[in-house]
Chains A and B, each alone.
Chain A
Amino acid sequence: MNLEITLTEEGNQSIIALAGEIDAYTVTNLKETFDSVTKKEGQEVIVDLEHVTYMDSTGLGVFIGALKSTKESDSELKLVNIQDRVYRLFQITGLDEIMDVKAAIRGGNE
Chain B
Amino acid sequence: MEKFEFVEMTIPAKAEYIGVIRLSLSGIANRMGFSYENIEDLKIAISEAITNAVTHAYEKDEKGEIQIGFGIYEDRLEVMVADRGISFDVEEVRKKAGPYKRSKPVEDLQEGGFGLFLIDALMDKVEIHDHSGIIIIMTKYINEAEVGLDGDQISTTS
A binds B: yes
Write out the residue numbers on chain B whose beta carbons fall within 8 Å of the beta carbon of A97: 100, 102
By secondary structure, the B interface counts as: helix
Nearest residue (CB) in A for B99 is: A94
Write out the residue numbers on chain A whose beta carbons fall within 8 Å of the beta carbon of B43: 54
1/0 contact string of B129-158 vs chain A (CB within 8 Å) = 000000000000000000001000000000
Q: Is B1 an interface residue (CB 8 A)?
A: no
In the complex, A65→B101 CA distance in Å?
Answer: 17
Tell me the residues in window 35-89 of chain A with beta carbons closer than 8 Å to chain B beta carbons.
54, 56-58, 60-62, 64-65, 67-68, 71, 85, 89
Contact A56-B106, Cβ < 8 Å, known A61-B114, A92-B99? no
Which of these binds chain A: B3-11, B16-24, B68-76, B80-88? Answer: B16-24
In the complex, A94→B112 CA distance in Å?
Answer: 14
Tell me the residues in window 5-43 of chain A with beta carbons closer than 8 Å to chain B beta carbons.
21, 23-25
Write out the residue numbers on chain A whose beta carbons fall within 8 Å of the beta carbon of B121: 92
Chain B interfacial positions (CB closer than 8 Å to A): 15-16, 18-20, 22-23, 37, 40, 43-44, 47-48, 50-51, 54-55, 99-102, 106-107, 109-115, 117-118, 121, 149
A64 contacts B118, C-beta separation under 8 Å: no
Nearest residue (CB) in A for B118 is: A57
User: From residue B75, how far is it (CB to closest CB) to chain A in Å?
Assistant: 24
In the complex, A73→B15 CA distance in Å?
Answer: 31
B19 contacts A23, C-beta separation under 8 Å: yes
B19 contacts A1, C-beta separation under 8 Å: yes
Contact A64-B44, Cβ < 8 Å, known A94-B100, A98-B100, A98-B106? no
Q: Is A93 an interface residue (CB 8 A)?
A: yes
Write out the residue numbers on chain A whose beta carbons fall within 8 Å of the beta carbon of B149: 91-92
B112 contacts A57, C-beta separation under 8 Å: yes
B100 contacts A23, C-beta separation under 8 Å: no
Known contacts A1-B23, A25-B15, A89-B118; 10 further A-B pairs (Cβ under 8 A): A1-B20, A24-B47, A56-B48, A60-B114, A61-B114, A64-B110, A64-B111, A67-B109, A85-B40, A98-B106
